[in-house]
A and B are shown apart, each in its own frame.
Chain A
Amino acid sequence: MPPPRIYKTAAIVLRQINLGEADKIITLYTPNLGKVRAVAKGIRRARSRLSGHLETLNHCMLVLARGRNLDVIDQGQTVHGFSSLKENLWLTGCAIYAADLVDSFTGENIENPPLFDLLLNTLSRFEEGQSPELNRHYFELHLLRCLGYRPQLRSCPGCRALLKPVTNYFSAGAGGVLCPNCHLSVSSARPVSSGALRALLLLERSEYGAVGNLKLLPEVSREVEGVIRGYLSYLLEGEARSVRFLDRLRRDGLSGSA
């Protein structure tokens, strides 16, 4: 039997680009179909019945029709629009960053239900006012885990020895934290204090509920940020574009949650 011509799916809107006069190509992330790019016809007209439902970062329920090239979005209904998140500039920036990472790291039509859940939960936590920093790092580490890029944080990828609570060295190329001995043979490794390593491990190994109240010291937070950022840009062969926006907001002193 051929696959059905029309199908229904939940989705989170990752991004959209204009197409022709009034259409858009919408990039969606779905639980069972992975990333899907679909056409929304006439969505740029003020009277479009779909436009409000397909706003970026919305969680929605869609009916799509299979097209020759791209599928076409036929009906849409918002499940949750994250409107209070979108009223906050910093949280909007963080949420766009999360969507950008999912878009950058995934190929089309590769299903990954845990990643969908992770993204949805992350957006919800941003909206609930959980610590944006912690939530962001939790998301980054668990995204890597969902995609099979989980960094090795417990034992040294060089000599397999368990890492000791001293200053160790993170190497993106080695895919984890090297012990003080092994790091000498690697050119670009960044030092990681034992406190930062503990924080990374805790964030990576736990459910969010167990780490949600974690308070990171500013210097530990900076280290964690540096390690994850270095690893992500190594894997993506460049920084995600939305990172620059977060940097900019920080520079303008707009990184608060107000």
Chain B
Amino acid sequence: MGTGFVSTAAPVSRLMEELQQLPGVGPKTAARLAYFLLRAPEAQARALAEAIVDIKEKIVLCSQCQNITESDPCPVCQNPARDHSRVCVVAEPLDILALERTGRYKGLYHVLHGLISPLEGIGPDQLKIKDLMARLNVGGVQELVLATNPNLEGDATAMYLHRMVTPLGLRVTRLARGLPVGGDLEYADEVTLGRALDGRQEM
């Protein structure tokens, strides 16, 4: 070879190239990870490979709530113990985990997979809004809980959904906003503090 360039064995450089596709992984990190895997026990490498294949082969979107799941419908939608008359709308699957950790919500979910963001060119068509409307049109849902983020995009999405479902005549609620636990009044902005005052509760 006239170039004088010593390249690594083809399978290793192929792995390095694949690893470089991951977010935050550059050539050096990719090389380090590739050589780590090269030296790792075969079982460990195989487990990683299988885990990666599994998320592609076994994960589907639940046809009802659009959450990522192994079985369709997902365990939440299938669970008869949950309140099927209540649907909580969230932006991302991770938001469901956060809400489930509270242990306070017993209804179903609907994942939009994003929020309306006019500045990024994300409109209602890029989200699972059509699926939500179809689900609500079937009937049986009495309350829609809008649990989108309390920022401009989340509010715009909530307002849009509210306007779209108004003709269906169901109860539409929005998560309260106020002061975070461990927060500081002095640093609260006027909107948050105002809402906290509006939503104050009898002790």
Contacts and interface: CB of A to CB of B under 8 A. Distances in A.
A89 B156 contact: yes
A55 B190 CA distance: 12
A15 B117 CA distance: 10
A223 B119 CA distance: 25
Interface string A32-59: 0000000000000011010011011100
A113 B159 CA distance: 33
A244 B191 contact: no
Please classify the interface of chain A as helix (H, G, I), strand (E, B), loop, or mixed, using the class held by over half of its residues: helix
A245 B191 contact: no
Q: How large is the interface on B (under 10, 10 to 19, 20 to 34, 35 or more residues)?
A: 20 to 34
Interface stretch (A92-100, A130-138, A201-209, A225-233): A92-100
A78 B119 contact: no
B192 interface: yes
A254 B103 CA distance: 36
A248 interface: yes
Interface in B115-143: 116, 118-121, 123-125
A248 B124 contact: yes
B53 interface: no
B189 A78 contact: yes
A241 B119 contact: yes
A89 B164 CA distance: 12
Interface string A48-84: 0100110111000000000000000000001001010
A81 B180 CA distance: 19
B160 A254 contact: yes
B191 A52 contact: yes
A116 B96 CA distance: 40
B177 to A, nearest CB: 9
Nearest to B156: A92
Contacts of A248: 123-125
B151 to A, nearest CB: 6
21 contacts: A49-B184, A55-B152, A55-B189, A78-B189, A78-B191, A81-B189, A81-B191, A83-B190, A87-B155, A87-B159, A89-B163, A92-B152, A92-B155, A96-B118, A96-B152, A97-B118, A100-B119, A241-B121, A245-B123, A252-B164, A254-B163
Q: Which 5 A-B pairs have the closest CB atoms?
A: A52-B189, A245-B118, A49-B187, A241-B121, A242-B118
Interface of B: 116, 118-121, 123-125, 151-152, 155-156, 159-160, 163-164, 180, 182-184, 187-192, 194
Given A93-B156, A254-B163, 11 more contacts: A49-B184, A49-B187, A55-B191, A78-B191, A89-B159, A92-B155, A100-B118, A241-B118, A241-B120, A245-B118, A245-B123
